């Protein structure tokens, strides 16, 4: 018989072909049985190549519990990173850990990675959905599984990623609230003087809550009119790196924000390092704002960030610049979140094009020609 292939009797008197491929690194054999010699040879050659390339191993796969513990540890210490190459946020790792323990490991934790099939995970998703678990929670439950199996596949621990093609319930984000310039100004000015700068930085600078908590006076250059966003804040870890590489950025300080920041600086103690007193200071300011505005009448800091985006768009700032100022990982996120606010939405597109063409016609002399324009080919005229 061919090298590594044994002919054996199969069921019903048929012939079976058992293939053996040795993995010297794991010191174990990988075996599989086929009904035809052609299939056996194809599998043998592919498997040998995968073993040599380190894409397949004869070592027994770890259990999902074992691998999830390793993955969470690596995600927490930064040795395992997300698909963009950035470290996972501590809060994200804690969320993944909680969801795996509560919703996955009690059902599949003792199964080896190589024994978990697509149907097992789809059954898990369907059961969570039937139990009334929210779509967003189901997504955050599956997200670490996708990362675990993607990593296992790239290292030859498994041959198939069972998370591919899972049918998940659609996540419907809550409607975002935006405040008009007048509403934003009214909300801010209703607050005590000590809290106005925090909310003004959310409304007119678009910083995230953690970035506001971590902001230092050395990061604010009033003379140059720029805020340097250099760090974020986690409520357990404290100061952390920004959400992504794009999170480190420069944000312009408009005049209206500069006035609030200047007033805040004049009130600050000389020894203050952070503008808003880190986590406790931000939380206290949020509590005071709720009291002033009344229940259901005010804004959240994240709504302030949304409002910043809407104001910048209304002012004519282009999407690429806005993406940079907001610290989005890419412009697609900005367009996905705020594209409906940008000029050129369905109800405006026709009017915008008509206005442009009218201006172009008015600025072009009647007898002018455009010899540089390409002529249509004869067959298309």
Q: Report whether 131 contacts 55 (CB < 8 A).
A: no
* Across 4-8, 128-132, 139-143, 300-304, least confident range: 4-8
Contacts of 248 (CB under 8 A, 6+ apart): 229, 230, 242, 327
d(Cα 327, Cα 250) in Å, to the nearest integer? 9
Interval 125-159: pLDDT, tens: 999 999 999 999 999 999 999 999 999 988 878 88
Q: Report whether 197 contacts 260 (CB < 8 A).
A: yes
The CB density around residue 11, as the number of other CB atoms within 10 Å, is 7
* Across 31-40, 170-179, 205-214, 364-373, least confident range: 364-373
d(Cα 58, Cα 221) in Å, to the nearest integer? 59
Give the three-state DSSP class for 30: strand
Q: Report whether 100 contacts 121 (CB < 8 A).
A: no
pTM of the model: 0.69
The dihedrals phi and psi of 343, each to the nearest 5 degrees, come to -55, 140
In this predicted structure, the answer to whether residue 364 has a pLDDT above a threshold of 80 is no
The chain-wide mean pLDDT, for the chain, equals: 87
Give the three-state DSSP class for 107: helix
The per-residue pLDDT for 365 is 61
Share of the chain above pLDDT 90, in %: 56
Following DSSP, what letter does each residue of 283-329 receive, concatenated? HHHHHHHHHHH-TTTS--HHHHHHHHHHHHHHTT--HHHHHHHHT-S
The per-residue pLDDT for 370 is 46
Per-residue pLDDT averaged across 356-369, rounded?
A: 69
Q: Report whether 34 contacts 47 (CB < 8 A).
A: no
* Across 59-63, 267-271, 353-357, least confident range: 353-357
């Amino acid at each position: 018989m061919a090298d590594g292939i044994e002919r054996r009797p199969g069921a019903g008197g048929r012939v079976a072909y058992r293939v053996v491929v040795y993995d010297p690194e794991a010191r174990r054999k990988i075996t599989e049985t086929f009904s035809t010699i052609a299939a056996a040879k194809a599998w043998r050659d592919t498997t040998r190549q995968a073993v040599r390339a380190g894409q397949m191993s004869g070592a027994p796969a770890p259990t999902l519990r074992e691998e999830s513990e390793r993955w969470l540890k690596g995600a927490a210490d930064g040795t395992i990173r997300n698909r963009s190459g950035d470290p996972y946020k501590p809060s994200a790792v804690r969320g993944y850990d909680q969801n795996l323990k509560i919703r996955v490991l009690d059902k599949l934790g003792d199964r080896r990675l190589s024994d978990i099939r697509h149907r097992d995970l789809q059954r898990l998703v369907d059961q969570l959905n039937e139990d009334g678990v929210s779509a967003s929670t189901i997504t955050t439950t599956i997200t670490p599984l996708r990362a675990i199996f993607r990593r296992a596949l790239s290292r030859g621990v498994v041959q198939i990623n069972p998370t591919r093609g899972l049918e998940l319930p659609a996540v419907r984000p809550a409607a975002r609230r935006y405040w008009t310039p007048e509403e934003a100004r009214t909300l801010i000015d209703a607050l005590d003087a000590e809290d106005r700068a925090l909310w003004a930085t959310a409304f007119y600078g678009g910083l995230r809550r953690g970035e506001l908590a971590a902001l230092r006076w050395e990061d604010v250059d009033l003379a140059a009119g720029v805020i340097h966003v250099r760090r974020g804040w986690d409520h357990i870890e404290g100061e952390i790196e920004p959400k992504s590489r794009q999170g480190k950025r420069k944000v312009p300080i408009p005049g209206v924000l500069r006035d609030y920041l200047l007033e805040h600086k004049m009130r600050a103690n000389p020894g203050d390092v952070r503008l808003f007193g880190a986590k406790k200071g931000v939380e206290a300011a949020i509590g005071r704002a709720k009291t002033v505005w009344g229940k259901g009448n005010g804004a959240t800091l994240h709504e302030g960030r949304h409002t910043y985006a809407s104001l910048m768009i209304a002012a004519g700032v282009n999407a690429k610049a806005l993406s940079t100022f907001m610290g989005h990982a890419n412009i697609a996120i900005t367009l996905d979140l705020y594209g409906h606010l940008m000029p050129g939405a369905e109800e405006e597109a026709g009017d915008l094009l008509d206005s442009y063409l009218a201006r172009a016609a008015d600025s072009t002399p009647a007898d002018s020609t455009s010899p540089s324009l390409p002529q249509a080919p004869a067959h298309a005229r």
